[in-house]
């Protein structure tokens, strides 16, 4: 029967080392004593010599053993060995040294003991070879357990990593790509093209990006944070925050409002038609304040119609269907389509509306009805947020390739914290919710219409001193070629806008 050899332990070393050291000292002392006695025997009496040598040798040997024991009791070797035995996971028979011993601190031994303890701690935290995981595996597992998506792309825009929550899809060759529906005017590829040509490092944020078109089951919405570092192995890193629980409520509300608005559009059109007919037939028969009351009915019907159009246009814009037929016209002609209504609204609300749109300004490329809705919304806002008897000014100037139309009031204004959120869908500040009625989508649809014209909309405001909204519309001659190539559709010019710029009390979309 074979006998299994037991492995040597680190703690076995001390007893072996100690015994060998004592044995070596004893043998060495005996040899030295015998050598000295033999040498002296040739000179003096042998009996006296041997007695003296033996007694002196034993005395010296005992003294050496005593000194050795005392030295070994406080030996650095003993302390280091005790700490090594502890690091090996064995129970040491020797007392464990403490790293803060004053004498050991002076000699540097405390640092050596502390290092052994630290190495022991690191070793104990390391998984055994049978369960070892790489750092990549650990990080990948952790990211897969989160609800946030993470996507990494190389310098060829190939996805080299994505976690389970990331909205990706694979083709027949196993090549991954993002499974998201970006606004066709602000896609990730457009941004990356710009980064490749202009930037070394870049960041960009998209909000409310869906992974499916409307009415698809399981539709999710993401806020996306992109980081770009030119030439890096992981050139593009995307963090996708699932905001479905927040945005889905808005989308469902919008779907319901769109349905309701569509159903209301027919009746309100009929009501407006009857009011116009009655106004024409009865205008000479009104007595006292009857005419004014009738005018208020017309204004209210027109405003309700405007709200309905806003809701329907917002729905179209979210679904990437806000396409327009552009014509050559003037900003004065656009305003003329809403002039009577605006003057009536301002008069009833006791506001002084002045409009200065020079006839000699260059023509612009517009969808007249849609841009008229923008002008109407901005003037209506100026009326609502200005003070009793306040002045509202509408002016226009040429600036580079754009005609800029400004709408200025001298009312309550806005703090800087509000300005940057104005063009978000359904956004209304705490103060406006308490004092002014509205849906929170008027400015959002203004932004949608203006951007669909290839223009921009911006705002400057000071709290308590009023606001100025400015709409920049492309001059017709600068986009005529693109319009003709697209059969006067706006699809060829919607990339002409100048982007989002935040500058203190100004915000441009």
pLDDT computed for residue 117 by the predictor: 62
Q: Is the pLDDT of residue 2 over 90?
A: no
Q: Enumerate long-range contacts of 280-283, CB under 8 Å, 24 or more apart.
A: none
Average pLDDT for 373-396: 90
Average pLDDT for 222-237: 90
Closest CA to 461 of 399, 507, 406: 507
Q: What is the full DSSP assignment across 131-188?
A: G---HHHHHHHHHHTSSSEEEEE-TT--EEEE-TTS-EEE-TT--EEE-----TTS-H
Q: Which residue has the higher pLDDT, 483 or 507?
A: 483
Model confidence at 501, pLDDT cuts 50, 70, 90, reads: very low
pLDDT computed for residue 508 by the predictor: 46
Cα separation, 497 vs 185, whole angstroms? 10
Give the model confidence (pLDDT) of 298-352 as tens digits. 877 877 777 677 677 666 665 554 677 789 999 999 999 888 889 888 888 899 9
Q: Is the pLDDT of residue 451 over 50?
A: yes
Lowest-confidence segment of 39-53, 165-179, 270-284, 371-385 by average pLDDT: 39-53
| Three-class secondary structure assignment of 387-434 | CCCCEEEEEEEEECCEEEEEEEECCCCCCHHHHCCCCCCCCCCHHHHH
Model confidence at 470, pLDDT cuts 50, 70, 90, reads: very high
Is 3.30.428.10 the CATH number for 322-508? no
Q: Is the pLDDT of residue 71 over 50?
A: yes
pLDDT computed for residue 329 by the predictor: 93
Model confidence at 108, pLDDT cuts 50, 70, 90, reads: low
Q: Which residue has the higher pLDDT, 87 or 429?
A: 87
Give the model confidence (pLDDT) of 144-192 as tens digits. 888 889 999 998 899 999 998 899 988 888 889 999 988 766 789 889 9
Lowest-confidence segment of 3-7, 89-93, 350-354, 375-379 by average pLDDT: 3-7
Q: Is the pLDDT of residue 110 over 60?
A: yes
Lowest-confidence segment of 130-134, 137-141, 236-240, 247-251 by average pLDDT: 130-134
Residues of the chain with CATH 3.30.450: 143-242
Give the model confidence (pLDDT) of 239-297 as tens digits. 999 988 887 776 776 667 677 777 787 888 888 888 888 888 887 787 777 777 887 78
CB-based contact 390:362 (threshold 8 Å): no
Average pLDDT for 391-405: 93
pLDDT computed for residue 43 by the predictor: 58
Q: Average pLDDT over the chain, rounded to whole?
A: 75
CB-based contact 33:54 (threshold 8 Å): yes
Q: Is the pLDDT of residue 232 over 60?
A: yes
Residues of the chain with CATH 3.30.565.10: 322-508
Model confidence at 363, pLDDT cuts 50, 70, 90, reads: very high
State the CB neighbour count (10 A cutoff) for residue 164: 13
Average pLDDT for 47-69: 61
pLDDT computed for residue 354 by the predictor: 93
Q: Is the pLDDT of residue 49 over 80?
A: no
Virtual CA dihedral for 247, 252, 255, 256, nearest 10 degrees? -140
Distances (CA, A) of 342 to 76, 302, 338, 377, 383: 96, 11, 6, 10, 10
Q: Is the pLDDT of residue 507 over 50?
A: no
Backbone angles phi, psi at 420, to 5 degrees: -70, -15
Q: Which residue has the higher pLDDT, 121 or 471?
A: 471
pLDDT computed for residue 394 by the predictor: 95
CB-based contact 167:222 (threshold 8 Å): yes
Q: What angle do CA 287, 290, 293 make, to 5 degrees?
A: 165
Model confidence at 131, pLDDT cuts 50, 70, 90, reads: very low
pLDDT computed for residue 504 by the predictor: 34
pLDDT computed for residue 379 by the predictor: 93
Instruction: Name the β-bridge partners of 237.
Output: 152, 227
Q: Is the pLDDT of residue 62 over 90?
A: no
Radius of gyration from C-alpha coordinates of the chain: 44
Top-confidence range, 125-134, 394-403, 444-453: 394-403
pLDDT computed for residue 434 by the predictor: 47
Count how many residues are written for the chain.
509
Q: What proportion of the chain, given as a percentage, has pLDDT over 70? A: 60
Domain spanning 143-242: which CATH class is it, in words? Answer: alpha beta
pLDDT computed for residue 74 by the predictor: 54
């Amino acid at each position: 029967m074979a006998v299994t050899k037991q492995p040597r332990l680190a703690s076995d070393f001390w007893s072996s080392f100690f015994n060998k050291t004592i044995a070596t000292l004893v043998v060495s002392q005996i040899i030295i004593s015998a050598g000295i006695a033999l040498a002296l025997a040739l000179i003096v009496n042998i009996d006296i010599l041997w007695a003296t040598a033996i007694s002196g040798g034993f005395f010296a040997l005992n003294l050496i053993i005593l000194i050795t024991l005392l030295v070994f009791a406080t030996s650095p070797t003993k302390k280091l060995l005790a700490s090594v035995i502890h690091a090996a996971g064995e129970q040491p028979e020797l007392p464990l040294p403490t790293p803060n011993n004053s004498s050991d601190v002076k000699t540097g031994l405390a640092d050596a003991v502390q290092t052994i303890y630290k190495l022991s701690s690191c070793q104990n935290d390391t998984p055994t070879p049978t369960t070892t995981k790489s750092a990549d595996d650990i990080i990948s597992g952790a990211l897969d357990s989160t609800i946030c998506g993470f996507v990494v792309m190389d310098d060829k825009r190939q996805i080299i990593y994505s976690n389970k929550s990331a909205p990706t899809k694979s083709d027949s060759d196993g090549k991954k790509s993002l499974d998201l529906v970006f606004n066709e005017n602000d896609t990730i590829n457009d941004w990356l093209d710009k980064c490749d040509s202009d930037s070394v490092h870049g960041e960009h944020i998209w909000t409310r990006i869906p992974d499916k078109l409307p009415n698809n089951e399981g539709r999710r919405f993401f806020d996306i944070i992109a980081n770009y570092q030119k030439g890096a192995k992981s050139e593009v890193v995307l963090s996708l925050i699932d905001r479905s629980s927040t945005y889905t409520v808005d989308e469902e509300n919008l779907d319901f409002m769109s349905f309701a608005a569509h159903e209301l559009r027919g009746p309100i059109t009929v009501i407006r038609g009857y009011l116009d007919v009655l106004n024409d037939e009865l205008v000479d028969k009104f007595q006292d304040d009857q005419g004014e009351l009738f005018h208020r009915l017309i204004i209210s019907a027109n405003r309700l119609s405007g709200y309905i159009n806003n809701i329907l246009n917002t729905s179209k814009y979210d679904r990437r269907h806000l396409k327009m037929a552009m014509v050559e016209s003037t900003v004065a002609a656009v305003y003329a389509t809403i002039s009577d209504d605006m003057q009536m609204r301002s008069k009833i609300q006791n506001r002084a509306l002045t409009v200065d749109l020079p006839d000699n300004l260059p023509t612009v490329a517009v969808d007249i009805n849609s841009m008229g809705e923008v002008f109407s919304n901005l003037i209506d806002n100026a009326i609502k947020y200005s003070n009793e008897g306040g002045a509202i000014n509408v002016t226009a100037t040429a600036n580079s390739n754009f005609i800029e139309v400004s709408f200025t009031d001298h009312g309550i204004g806005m703090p800087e914290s509000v300005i940057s959120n104005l063009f978000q869908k359904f956004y209304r500040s705490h103060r406006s919710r308490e004092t002014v009625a509205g849906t929170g989508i008027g400015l959002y649809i203004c932004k949608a219409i203006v951007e669909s014209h290839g223009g921009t909309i911006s705002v400057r405001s000071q709290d308590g001193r009023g606001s100025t909204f400015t709409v920049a519309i492309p001059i017709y001659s600068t986009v005529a070629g693109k319009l003709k190539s697209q059969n006067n559709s706006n699809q060829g010019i919607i990339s002409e806008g100048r982007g989002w710029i935040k500058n203190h009390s100004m915000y441009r979309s």
